[in-house]
Structure 1
């Protein structure tokens, strides 16, 4: 087997197609030799991992090996997937996030308990806990997982802030489905998504004073930061203090008066819609943007996507920093929420467009707009 693996490793850079390597791996897996895939992946990473950015053959084969191990049912496949990504040649935090998503989408909790006793980094374990939570698993009652998940030893990890059960505002998060050859996920946003537009009442709108700070804008935009940092996206995140209450049906007029970059050029011939939305819908949009990414990236995956969605929800609702999730949710439910979209030059109107606004009881208006394109 070692000679066969070495032959593949040696020939890989010169291949014009890696289909034959895929087929070899698939045959070995079908014969019950999951270890071959892990051994091959580790050998390839040792030889070409540092050159992965330029070598498409390596990226394609490694991802295929990992996906096959991670999505094929059976505890033995889980163990080999963990061995592959826990080797010194492959260790990487972003890979841990990806693997946790793959495993949680394809295996029951009892098969994943091995990650908390055998080969797995602490980062992978933390991500796996919250990938399972997102899928409705009670990790506090899962044998082999509960001890690690409820231990105080990881209380300083960023994900430790998240609750170990889904909150009401999270509902049933839209999660990706994986196969050996690809993945799919829902996109709860886009140009002029189907919404019931809010009717204008003609009520007088209050004056607004901008109070945006760098910290506030960063917090509000956490969920969509990856669109700008890793793709072609742009973000507008701003905060205003209103001089008076916002009358029902006047959100559209108020948004037009704020001088938002995303709404410049809005006129009679420009489609501009505003609709009320519950905080649950807002969280779902934020989670999808954070976890699945924009046009040219894959996002933060489930665990860190969940954290980013909560951070943006806190920023939009004006919750004090470091408050527990229960307080963020309570504050969010006290706010009035709106979704909006416009056919302006700012919005790309392709598939990745977000417009959210919230008005808190203390008359704080927060706005988040984001757009991306391929």
Structure 2
């Protein structure tokens, strides 16, 4: 370890501002010395990357990783991978974040090194699906294809996902990264649908709730992070209908189910709003909720966000256990989907609001997922 790196490591806990350390790293990368940036990052992880890392360490480490990932040059990619592969810095959450960062900032051919050099199997799995989300044909990409198509990781949770995008997944909202931060779109919030006036005429058969804990958990997969890591609320319920429900009668049916999220809806000041929702739109909303998180967290990023979105979508559609991705997509496409919200005490109607209902092809099963979060 050089004397300068020793000084950085020893002096970090006493700093009230880490901009000076970051400026040194910026200058060294500009001179082409990527190794100098990774070296103190590894040393800092060894010294301060424990269960409760110093805020100075977290800030500097994040800057070093982003600096290496966003600066052109193959040597910067290699050093970024070395940085996150040190035992003290490694972890599933960091692997997910790093895969999203690299896939967003680098060409696929630059990332082939991750499949032969420094990188955990978890990082590789995440990187594969981050690239798939960006339209990369990973099964045809030199340096990536052999690992991506190998059967050795089919038992990994992400192994359920196909290596190509389905038609429902096109247009996923993916983050963009820069050295100073990141940004992403939020395809949810107050509904832009029409108010439901309850004009009558549509028959609404009686309903019995048939939700199981397993179904509720599966339907809520995409928004689980809102409740576990932020201030969110989730309502996930399934109802069996005594007779076929017409898709056009779904809004009226929602008001009869006793949903907590719609308590008081239908009254003058709490009008139910919504509209028919293409399944691709439902997937996009669920993916954003899972991948980018709620008001106080950053979600699980693209790869696991993709998986969680499909888990929620499949459960809402009533996909049978053990179904593969193609079977899940077919069933999801057969259902009628509806997006909704209302000015009730439950929905925040600010930024993080979701209301989705899925009606089975025979009209006898109605599944509902509502989620809200607030800062």
TM-score by length of 1: 0.97
Q: Give per-residue Cα distances to partners, 1:295-343, cap 9 Å, x unaligned.
A: 1111010000000000001100000112111111110111000000111
How many residue pairs are counted as aligned between the two chains? Answer: 372
What secondary structure does 1:252 align onto?
A: helix
| In structure 2, C-alpha distance between the alignment counterparts of 1:40 and 1:90, rounded to whole Å | 12
SS class of match (1:50): coil
2: distance between equivalents of 1:208 and 1:268? 25
Contact residue 193 and residue 340 of structure 2 kept, 8 A? no
Runs of 4+ in 1 over 4 A off after TM superposition: 196-201
1:186 offset after TM fit, Å?
A: 0.7
Deviation of 1:197 (Å) = 5.1
Shift of 1:74: 2.2
**Is 2:216 the counterpart of 1:222?**
no
TM-superposed CA distance for 1:51, in Å, is: 5.2
Inter-partner Cα distance in structure 1 for 2:334 and 2:263: 30
Query: Hey, what does 2:326 align to over in structure 1?
Result: 326
Distance 1:270 1:144 in 2: 56
Distance (Å, rounded) in 2 between the aligned partners of 1:343 and 1:33 = 56
TM-score for both structures, normalised by structure 2: 0.97
Aligned position for 1:260: 259
**Residue 370 of structure 2 corresponds to residue 369 of structure 1:** yes
Q: Partner of 1:44 in structure 2?
A: 44
Give the aligned partner of residue 20 of structure 1: 20
Gaps of 5+ in 1: none
> What is the 5 A alignment of 1:305-316?
305-316=305-316
- Given that 1:74 and 1:107 are in contact with CA atoms closer than 8 Å, whether structure 2 keeps it comes out as no
Say yes or no: does 1:115 pair with 2:114.
yes
What secondary structure, in the 3-state scheme, does the structure 1 residue paired with 2:50 have?
Answer: helix
1:61 CA displacement: 0.5
Matches of 1:171 and 1:51 in 2, distance apart?
A: 39
Q: CA deviation at 1:137?
A: 0.1
Does structure 1 retain, via aligned residues, the 8 Å contact 2:161–2:325?
yes
> Is 1:92–2:91 an aligned residue pair?
yes
Q: Which residue in 2 is equivalent to 1:301?
A: 301
CA RMSD of aligned residues (A): 1.2
Instruction: Return the alpha-carbon distance in structure 2 between the equivalents of residues 200 and 107 of structure 1.
Output: 52
Aligned partners of 2:195 and 2:272 also within 8 Å = no
Higher mean Cα deviation, 266-275 or 313-322? 266-275
Q: Offset at 1:356? A: 0.2
- Assess, with a 3 A threshold, how the Cα gap between structure 1 residues 52 and 31 changes in structure 2: closer, same or farther: farther
Query: For 1:347-362, what aligned pairs fall within 5 Å after superposition?
Result: 347-362=347-362
CA contact (8 A) 1:189 1:352 kept: yes
